[in-house]
């Protein structure tokens, strides 16, 4: 199953690779070279399919938990001063996604969307300390009855050039529902109340909509 954001890219990629494959098979007479080029084209197609995959998962929403919005590795757990929305200290948990991870972004909590904003910006590597403030990004805040306002921020990486954000202010959203999609490598920051109980450690591998980041 593939995410809707990848349908057009997958179709175009398939047509281009099929055309190139036919040309290589017809014009390249050297056997080892022809096979090598065909294998390279196949690998490129598989990588594109891998990136846009959207596997079926059995989610179990829980209002007492903040779930990871994305697949990836936990790279930051720290208290920071969040100045775009809260203007106060919050607990930040950041998950880095490689190009091989599933890139669907899911709502970490259920509630009402009270803030949603897109910011154009740079394309620093996603683990750069300033990427959260200077890169292309979207900021979404969901007001949860249990955790209050929970902010999650999609951040473009060095490879990413487009962030898709589905959140609109005034919406009521379900935990684990699609919040957006980031194309080709990125990171998501989650900002929580300081009294949230963290359930992950640095370098943990997490799954979007399944892994618990924090509880009450």
132-162 pLDDT, tens per residue?
666 788 999 999 999 999 999 998 865 555 7
Residue 197 CA to residue 201 CA, distance in Å, equals: 12
Which pLDDT value is given to residue 183? 73
The Cα angle at residue 157 between residues 172 and 109, in degrees rounded to 5: 20
Which pLDDT value is given to residue 133? 64
Residue 48, pLDDT > 90, answer no
Domain ranges for the chain: 4-51, 65-215
Q: Report the largest interatomic distance among the alpha carbons of the chain, rounded to a whole angstrom.
A: 67
> Of 169, 174, 180, 106, which Cα lies nearest the Cα of 141?
169
Which pLDDT value is given to residue 26? 85
Check if the beta carbon of residue 167 is closer than 8 Å to that of residue 174: no
Helix axes 31-51, 7-27, angle to 10 degrees: 180
User: Which token pair is 112?
Assistant: 């009402």
Share of the chain above pLDDT 90, in %: 62
How much is the average pLDDT of 166-189?
Answer: 90
186 is catalytic: yes
Residue 182 CA to residue 85 CA, distance in Å, equals: 22
Question: What pTM value is reported for the model?
Answer: 0.83
Helix intervals (H) in 60-173: 131-134
Which listed residue (94, 116, 179, 186) is catalytic?
186
**Which carries the bigger pLDDT value, residue 31 or residue 48?**
31
Residue 29 CA to residue 42 CA, distance in Å, equals: 19
Residue 68, pLDDT > 90, answer yes
**Which carries the bigger pLDDT value, residue 190 or residue 125?**
190
Domain 65-215 has CATH 2.70.70: yes
Q: Tell me: the pLDDT tens digits for 117-126?
A: 998 866 555 5
């Amino acid at each position: 199953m593939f995410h809707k954001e990848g349908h057009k890219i997958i179709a175009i990629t398939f047509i281009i690779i099929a055309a190139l494959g036919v040309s290589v098979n017809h014009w390249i007479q050297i056997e080892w070279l022809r096979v090598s080029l065909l294998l390279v084209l196949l690998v490129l197609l598989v990588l594109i399919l891998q990136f846009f995959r959207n596997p079926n998962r059995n989610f179990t929403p829980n209002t007492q938990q903040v779930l990871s919005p994305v697949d990836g590795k936990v790279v930051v757990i720290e208290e920071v001063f969040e100045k775009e929305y809260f203007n106060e200290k919050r607990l930040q948990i950041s998950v880095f996604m490689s190009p091989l991870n599933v890139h669907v972004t899911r709502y970490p909590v259920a509630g009402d969307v009270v803030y949603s904003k897109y910011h154009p910006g740079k394309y620093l590597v996603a683990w750069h300390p300033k990427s959260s403030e200077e890169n292309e990004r979207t900021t979404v805040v969901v007001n949860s009855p249990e955790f209050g306002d929970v902010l999650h921020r999609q951040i473009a990486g060095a490879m990413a050039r487009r962030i898709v954000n589905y959140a609109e202010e005034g919406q009521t959203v379900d935990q684990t529902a699609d919040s957006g999609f980031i194309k080709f490598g990125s990171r998501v920051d989650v900002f929580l109340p300081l009294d949230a109980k963290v359930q992950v450690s640095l370098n943990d591998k997490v799954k979007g909509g399944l892994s618990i980041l924090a509880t009450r």
